[in-house]
């Protein structure tokens, strides 16, 4: 039992460090949108998106997404809490509970950051019936 608790503590600590390590500004050139209720709204977009991730030590933070076609409209999401880490053969996922800040009425959502085995990083904004994935995020390094 001691070994299990030690491994669990190390695992949870490493997740927190990993989340801090992904904070930064990114771009994505490709996005997919899926609407489970109205599939005619599904789409794939080749467009430049700017994405800011700010995840604090306590697993709270913010995500902002800007579509380069509409630079004055920024989607803001407030991360409320860490939910889970899921590992599959294809990807590792960090899941957070969040809500929208940019809408008049906040909408509950999940922020899912996942890393595929090819080391690419993706961001999913997941509502109850819809999701949007920003693929192959590229970190913009400070100069």
* pLDDT, position 22: 87
Residues 51 and 137: beta-carbon distance below 8 Å: yes
pLDDT tens for each residue of 50-90: 999 999 988 999 999 999 999 899 999 999 999 999 999 99
pLDDT of residue 19: 47
The structure's pTM equals: 0.82
What is each CA distance from 39 to 7, 31, 35, 100, 110, in whole angstroms?
Answer: 43, 16, 5, 23, 20
For residue 95, give the nearest of 104, 103, 86 by alpha carbon. Answer: 86
Phi/psi at 73 (5° precision)? -110, 110
Q: Where are the domains of the chain?
A: 2-139
Residues of the chain with pLDDT under 70: 1-20, 143
Work out whether the CA dihedral 82, 37, 30, 70 comes out positive or negative. Answer: negative
The per-residue pLDDT for 1 is 40
> pLDDT value at position 21?
76
């Amino acid at each position: 039992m001691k070994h299990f608790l030690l491994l669990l503590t190390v695992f949870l600590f490493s997740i927190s460090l990993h989340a801090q390590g992904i904070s930064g500004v990114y771009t994505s050139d490709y996005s997919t949108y899926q609407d489970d209720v109205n599939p005619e709204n599904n789409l794939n977009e080749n467009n430049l998106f700017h994405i800011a991730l700010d995840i604090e030590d306590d697993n709270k933070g913010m995500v902002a997404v800007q579509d380069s076609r509409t630079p004055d409209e920024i989607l803001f999401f407030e991360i409320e809490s860490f939910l889970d880490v899921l590992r599959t053969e294809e990807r590792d996922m960090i899941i957070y509970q969040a809500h929208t800040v940019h809408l008049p009425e906040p909408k509950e959502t999940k922020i899912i950051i996942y890393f595929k085995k090819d080391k690419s990083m993706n961001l999913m904004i997941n509502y109850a019936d819809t999701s949007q994935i920003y693929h192959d995020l590229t970190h913009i390094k400070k100069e």
